[in-house]
């Protein structure tokens, strides 16, 4: 395959399958596994990531939007597909037509889904989302049992599962996590008192799957960890994950500059001595945050090279360390391994003052992806 550009993302699909197997191995045998592939599979490609996750033993796929679900369904994915928030009521007929399982927490949406289900002569499945304290989406935990009973009376729909989401599952010993768990358990109990079967109960994201076995319930929902990235430093050493994404480029130009010469917009860096500058053909429009300017390093010839001057939209420059011979066309690694050295997504995220999640999504914006299977 010919590439039009010397900067690309490499995705190791074998790593995704292995990570799913590893994570599944941390849960009881009967626990279902939802692989979350929203935002184009956290930048890894939603369809390829979903397929790799299913090969690794995932049972279900989760996405954020109806469009994302439709993309997977039309590509031929047969497994249960979840939308993790409540879609607009106008999407109800599409959901029913394609057998997509929405999250539900409003009577208006329940009515629309019921009407669409009835019109199609089916019972559309939904999962009840309970807000146990993150204060983002869901029906408030205090009102959930009564709400569930009211919705249960609507025709054309069927409660298949009940879920919540944690705000601080990555913080070991956090009392607010405990409080959310307590509210969830209490809501489930009261649903049963209202004679509503909660169905498949689920709450755990990657962090809770790794750190909180008590939150596994009937299914876990893992996103970041299936891509081999840790949800937080708190899970380092708790699970052995293989990073699926690498970011690579080829040196586009090499130039020798004199002492005191500036590099890139605004000349935020001047050469303290005569040196060699290599230009790489990727920039902030490719997901290398401008905040990484003068902070990050890349690998060339297995050696760390300091990035210098501002990261531009389409290019960035690095200083070639003394003793390293660099030529146009040489491989540079922005994230990943080279010659026994490595730069992690977490390291780059620190320079960008963000989390690996955001960087991985951003690398999907413009760079072509190459798939490998280790
Ligand atoms: C994104 C998301 C997940 C996955 O979270 P990770 O931290 O990536 O594992 C799980 N559940 C819901 C509701 C989500 O929105």
Active-site option among 24, 38, 129, 248: 38
Give the residue whose CA is nearest to atom 1 of ligand 1.
223
Euclidean distance between CA atoms 362 and 285, whole angstroms: 8
Tell me the pTM. Answer: 0.97
The per-residue pLDDT for 109 is: 98
Q: What is the mean pLDDT of residues 145-151?
A: 97
Euclidean distance between CA atoms 157 and 159, whole angstroms: 7
Does residue 255 have an active-site annotation? no
Binned at pLDDT 50, 70 and 90, residue 1 comes out as very low
Nearest ligand 1 atom to the CA of 129 is 13
Nearest ligand 1 atom to the CA of 163 is 13
- Is the Cβ atom of 224 under 6 angstroms away from ligand 1? yes
- Is the Cβ atom of 36 under 6 angstroms away from ligand 1? yes
Q: Is the dihedral of CA 183, 185, 189, 191 positive or negative?
A: positive
Question: What's the DSSP call for residue 86?
Answer: P
- pLDDT above 50: residue 29: yes
Ligand 1 pocket mutation, candidates 24, 36, 128, criterion most atoms within 8 A of CB: 36
Euclidean distance between CA atoms 160 and 101, whole angstroms: 9
The per-residue pLDDT for 4 is: 63
The per-residue pLDDT for 11 is: 98
- pLDDT above 60: residue 171: yes
CA–centroid distance, residue 150 to ligand 1 (Å):
28
Question: What's the DSSP call for residue 337?
Answer: E
Q: What is the mean pLDDT of residues 78-92?
A: 98
Euclidean distance between CA atoms 8 and 31, whole angstroms: 37
Does residue 38 have an active-site annotation? yes
- Is the Cβ atom of 231 under 6 angstroms away from ligand 1? yes
Ligand 1 pocket mutation, candidates 35, 84, 170, 177, criterion most atoms within 8 A of CB: 84
Residue 52, helix vs strand vs coil = helix
Binned at pLDDT 50, 70 and 90, residue 5 comes out as low
The per-residue pLDDT for 184 is: 98
The per-residue pLDDT for 374 is: 82
């Amino acid at each position: 395959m010919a590439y039009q550009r010397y900067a690309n993302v490499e995705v190791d699909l074998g790593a995704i399958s292995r990570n799913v197997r590893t994570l599944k191995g941390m849960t009881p045998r009967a626990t279902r596994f939802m692989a979350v592939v929203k935002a184009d599979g956290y930048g890894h490609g939603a369809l390829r990531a979903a397929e790799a996750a299913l090969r690794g033993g995932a049972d279900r796929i989760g996405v954020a939007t109806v469009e994302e679900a439709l993309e997977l369904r039309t590509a031929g994915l047969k497994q249960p597909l979840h939308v993790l928030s409540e879609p607009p009521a106008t999407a109800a007929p599409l959901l029913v037509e394609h057998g997509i399982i929405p999250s539900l927490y409003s009577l208006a949406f329940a009515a629309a889904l019921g009407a669409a289900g009835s019109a199609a002569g089916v019972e559309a499945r939904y999962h009840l989302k309970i807000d146990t304290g993150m204060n983002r989406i869901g029906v408030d935990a205090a009102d959930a049992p009564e709400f569930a009973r009211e919705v249960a009376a609507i025709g054309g729909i069927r409660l298949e599962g009940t879920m919540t989401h944690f705000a601080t599952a990555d913080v070991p010993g956090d009392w607010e996590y405990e409080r959310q768990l307590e509210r969830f358990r209490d809501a489930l109990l009261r649903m049963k008192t209202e004679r509503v079967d909660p169905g498949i109960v689920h709450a755990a994201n990657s962090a809770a799957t790794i750190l909180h076995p008590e939150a596994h319930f009937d299914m876990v929902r893992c996103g970041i960890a299936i891509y081999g990235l840790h949800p937080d430093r708190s899970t380092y050493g708790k699970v052995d994950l293989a990073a699926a994404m690498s970011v690579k480029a080829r040196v586009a130009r090499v130039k020798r500059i004199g002492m005191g010469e500036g590099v890139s917009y605004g000349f935020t860096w001047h050469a303290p001595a005569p040196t060699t500058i290599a230009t790489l053909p990727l920039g902030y429009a490719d997901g290398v945050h401008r905040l990484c300017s003068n902070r990050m390093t890349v690998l060339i010839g297995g050696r760390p090279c300091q990035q210098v001057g501002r990261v531009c939209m389409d290019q960035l420059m690095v200083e070639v360390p003394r003793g390293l011979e660099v030529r146009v066309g040489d491989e540079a690694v922005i994230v990943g391994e080279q010659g026994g050295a490595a730069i992690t997504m977490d390291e780059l995220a620190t320079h960008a003052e963000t989390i690996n999640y955001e960087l991985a999504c951003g690398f999907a914006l413009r760079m072509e992806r190459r798939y490998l299977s280790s």
